[in-house]
Amino acid sequence: MSSFKIIVKKEFLLLKVLMAVIYIALELYYSYLISAQYDYMGFISDLNLFKYVITKAVFLLLLAGSFNLYNKSRFLYSIYLLLIFFFYIPNAILFSHSNFAAGPFVSNTFFVASFLITPYIKFTIPDISIPVKYRGMALISMALLLLIPILITFKLNFNLKTLLLSEIYETREIFSEKLHGILAYFYNFEAKTIIPIALVFFMINRKYFFIALLFLMLLYLFVISGNKLVYFTSIIVVFFFYIGRNHVSKLSNFFLLVIIFFALFPIIDNFILKTPVLAGIFINRFFFIPALLTHFYFDFFDGIPFYFAESHFFNQFVHSPYEMPVGFLITKVYWNEPTVFANNGIVSDGFMNLGYIGVLLFSAIFSFLFSLFSSFRLHKGYYGIFFCYIYIFLSAPLLTCFITGGILIFILLCYTILNNGKNILMPTQ
């Protein structure tokens, strides 16, 4: 028993060390690259010592305060660390190295810290799952049925150069001209939920024919759309399926790989590519641009909540006072680029629509959602799906995540197909 406790402490402390190394690496990137190379976007380097100390103290408190969460649920603990990784650290760096207002930093800190209540939220899951022998057929049938209207619309007219990540924008332009109405929902359901979930299901059960078929379907969805999210989703799902024996070890391996990449990017950019391509694509786009856009949304909607005026339901009652979609308006105001759309994550979405009450409400909804996920008996192989959902919440409004992002469908599948219950196909721990 004592040796087990030592192992647990080492595992817990290892992740804390990895998180600290990542924090330091991202801060160095911001100080020496992002603020210098991308100052035209609004990044500045103006270190405030008081803010710096505050952000580090809060970071240590967030890490130390997670021990109880670690003991109660390794799954929820791993999600919590991803929230620190994507939401807290980039916003803390921007706050401490700039003259930005405290609102975005405080709100993201609250969003992350409120997740600590998740192990105390309990759900009773009714047994409404379909028989085990029909589950695989149900998943593959859904994937094929949703693919039919997409195949009828786009046929086999695709650009093979898209596979090499070439002529992406040309492919996207053609795709966007044809994708509208219910077809857009079908495409998003397929790419973000149905096929990735079915892929994991058949990898768990080692049904290689269906695995190959689903990969071909994902490949088709990518070459007709040029949507890199489809490309990376399949990689992430397979990556998290195979690495690590449990949720915590999967995340440890991921963080180790991130640190290695962080160390390699400057070498490759400086000596091979001769320009900060990798740092721009990965470091800036995945971490600092979402944080900067959060600041823009907080600044623009401070004191003037939007009340979901762009929602298809709420716009029947509240009308937008602006002549263009808010995402384009934000980039027009702050970047003078009205043709670029500014993505809006869950924290800034809450503030934009309901002020700080929205931040509180959306944080609670997020915590309840993952408490629900934790109540299901899901195979650890689905961890890559949750990782993708975390990133979707970082870059899309709450209602979009639930509907277009496919989370409502995922919840339905958890109840009916994915929840093992008494019919465990493979070990869940």
pLDDT classification of 165: cutoffs 50, 70, 90 = low
Contacts of residue 150, Cβ cutoff 8 Å, sequence gap at least 6: 183, 186, 187, 190, 221, 224
Residue type at 218 in one-letter notation: L
pLDDT classification of 423: cutoffs 50, 70, 90 = very low
Domain annotation covers residue 402: no
Mean model confidence pLDDT for the chain: 91
Buried b (16+ CB within 10 A) or exposed e, 373-393: bbebbbbbbbbbbbbbbbbbb
For residue 3, pLDDT beyond 80: no
Domain annotation covers residue 9: yes
Domain annotation covers residue 20: yes
pLDDT of residue 234: 86
Domain annotation covers residue 190: no
Q: How many domains does the chain have?
A: 1
- Over residues 397-403, the mean pLDDT reads 94
CA 9 to chain centre: 28
Contacts of residue 59, Cβ cutoff 8 Å, sequence gap at least 6: 23, 84, 88, 89, 92
Domain annotation covers residue 84: yes
Longest dimension (CA), the chain: 65
Share of the chain above pLDDT 70, in %: 96
For residue 17, pLDDT beyond 50: yes
**How many CA atoms lie less than 13 Å away from 204 in the CB half-sphere?**
23
Q: What is the pTM of this model?
A: 0.92
DSSP letters of 349-386? HHHHHHHHHHHHHHHHHHHHHHHHHHHS---GGGHHHH
For residue 421, pLDDT beyond 60: no
The C-alpha atoms of residue 288 and residue 27 are separated, in whole angstroms, by 10
For residue 163, pLDDT beyond 80: no
pLDDT of residue 186: 94
Contact between residue 188 and residue 404 where contact means Cβ atoms under 8 Å apart: yes
pLDDT of residue 429: 37
Domain annotation covers residue 416: no
Residue of 228 and 28 predicted with greater confidence: 28
- Over residues 303-315, the mean pLDDT reads 84
The C-alpha atoms of residue 108 and residue 114 are separated, in whole angstroms, by 10
pLDDT in tens, 347-389: 999 999 999 999 999 999 999 999 999 999 899 999 999 999 9
pLDDT classification of 170: cutoffs 50, 70, 90 = confident
Contact between residue 73 and residue 119 where contact means Cβ atoms under 8 Å apart: yes
pLDDT of residue 156: 84
Q: By C-alpha distance, which of 381, 389, 377 is closest to 421?
A: 377
pLDDT of residue 248: 94
The C-alpha atoms of residue 420 and residue 118 are separated, in whole angstroms, by 21
Domain annotation covers residue 231: no
CA 177 to chain centre: 26
CA 188 to chain centre: 15
pLDDT in tens, 262-291: 999 999 999 998 888 898 888 999 999 999
pLDDT of residue 5: 52
For residue 2, pLDDT beyond 90: no
The C-alpha atoms of residue 141 and residue 145 are separated, in whole angstroms, by 6
pLDDT in tens, 322-355: 999 999 999 999 999 988 999 999 999 999 999 9
Buried b (16+ CB within 10 A) or exposed e, 298-330: bebbeeebbbbbbbeeeeeeeeeeeeeebbbbb
pLDDT of residue 127: 80
pLDDT of residue 176: 86
Residue of 156 and 221 predicted with greater confidence: 221
For residue 288, what are the domain limits? 2-120+244-375
For residue 169, pLDDT beyond 80: no
Domain annotation covers residue 33: yes
Q: By C-alpha distance, which of 5, 1, 12 is closest to 249?
A: 12
For residue 177, pLDDT beyond 90: no
Contacts of residue 81, Cβ cutoff 8 Å, sequence gap at least 6: 15, 19, 66, 251
